[in-house]
Amino acid sequence: MGTSKSAKKKAILFGTEVTEGLAAALTGALNAMQVTNFRPEPFLGQDVDRGLLLPYFGHFGTIFTANYGRVSFEVEIAGAGAAGTAPAYGPLLRACAMAETIAAATDVKYNPISDAMESATIFYFMDSIKHALVGARGTFTLSFQPAQIARFVFTFQGLILTATDTPNPTVDLTKFIKPVPVSKANTTFSLHGYAGACEAFSFDLGGDVQPRLLINDESIKFVDRRMVGNATMDAVALATVNWDQIAKSHTDGVMAAVHGKTAGNIVQFDAPTVQIGRYAYDESQNIITNTLPMMVKPTLGNDEFVITVK
């Protein structure tokens, strides 16, 4: 009888590739990621029916083609411990078509790019069963709700390598900083210059990631990006902020959010050109709220959204 595998004994390693599609040398000491809600999909692709002509009923199997893998997981939004130090989750953002710019002792910025996009290697261990993805690229969403931990939700696709029986690595997760909860004390948010009561806000990078599995070449491509968001704010007099007019006039405005107050554990989000979509009314605790869809637009290009860790 084989020994059953424990759902509690998992690990994930993630690192930027030097050569796209060539597995990076990852170690538990340098490349371990601290994640929650991990969901692996190790064997995706197309099932081709053979369509054989036979003089009897029955299933004659399929051919599995265009194979790739996908993983999704959440990472807490927190700083890096010191200003000007890249956060432990930096490689994840870089593999989502984001550029990393480090200003020593000041901050680290991540902005979207449209060229020279990096790829990543992912090793994940399911209680000593090792799966590997190479050439991986992905996209993410992020969400802020009061009294909760803010998190990135990442989804990556990659080319699959052969699974092996390999012991779980010893991991070092000390580079991940403990987050602070979303609250009035820790979090600020403003939209088109208005900083009223906000029940929640979220963003979706909107990355279009596609396996491109061709003759002579197989890769995972990041082919487009359309960033959107959503905010829920208490409704107020139109004289205070007129979302009706703002939406109907297609007015662009600034979005700004800061999470954290202590240097080394501050993450800032800035979008200079945000259009409000078809807003709606809702209710929360018998309070009228506005649901405000956001279209996060570039100004000069690759500048629609900046994450600053400081």
| pLDDT, tens only, 86-96 | 999 999 999 99
Tell me which residue of 273, 277, 272, 280 sits closest to 247, measured CA to CA: 277
**E runs forming strands in 114-248:** 120-126, 129-144, 151-160, 164-165, 187-191, 198-204, 207-214, 217-225, 228-234
pLDDT at residue 1 tops 90: no
What's the whole-model pTM score? 0.96
Helix, strand, coil percentages in the chain from 3-state DSSP, rounded to 5: 5, 50, 45
Is there a contact between 75 and 175 (Cβ–Cβ < 8 Å)? no
Per-residue pLDDT, 196: 97
Is there a contact between 230 and 201 (Cβ–Cβ < 8 Å)? yes
Tell me which residue of 84, 163, 88, 85 sits closest to 131, measured CA to CA: 163
Distance between CA atoms of residues 298 and 51, nearest Å: 49
CA angle 114-120-123, nearest 5°? 155
What pairs with residue 84 in β-bridges? Answer: none
Is there a contact between 112 and 273 (Cβ–Cβ < 8 Å)? no
pLDDT at residue 2 tops 80: no
Is there a contact between 207 and 139 (Cβ–Cβ < 8 Å)? yes
Rounded to 5 degrees, what are φ and ψ at 175? Answer: -75, -10
Is there a contact between 69 and 124 (Cβ–Cβ < 8 Å)? no
Q: Kindly compute the dihedral angle of the four CA atoms of residues 296, 299, 301, 303, in this order, to the nearest 10 degrees.
A: -60
Least confident of 20-24, 60-64, 192-196: 60-64
- Amino acid letter at 248? K
Is there a contact between 309 and 86 (Cβ–Cβ < 8 Å)? yes
- % of the chain at pLDDT higher than 70: 100
241 to each of 149, 230, 281, how far by Cα in Å? 29, 17, 15
The 10s digit of each residue's pLDDT in 77-114 is 999 999 999 999 999 999 999 999 999 999 999 999 99
Q: How many CB atoms are closer than 10 A to CB 252?
A: 16
Using only C-alpha atoms, the chain has a radius of gyration, in whole angstroms, of: 22
Tell me which residue of 88, 91, 142, 141 sits closest to 119, measured CA to CA: 91
Q: If you average pLDDT over residues 49-57, what whole number do you get? A: 91
Is there a contact between 134 and 22 (Cβ–Cβ < 8 Å)? yes
Helix (H, G, I), strand (E, B) or coil at 29: helix
- % of the chain at pLDDT higher than 90: 97
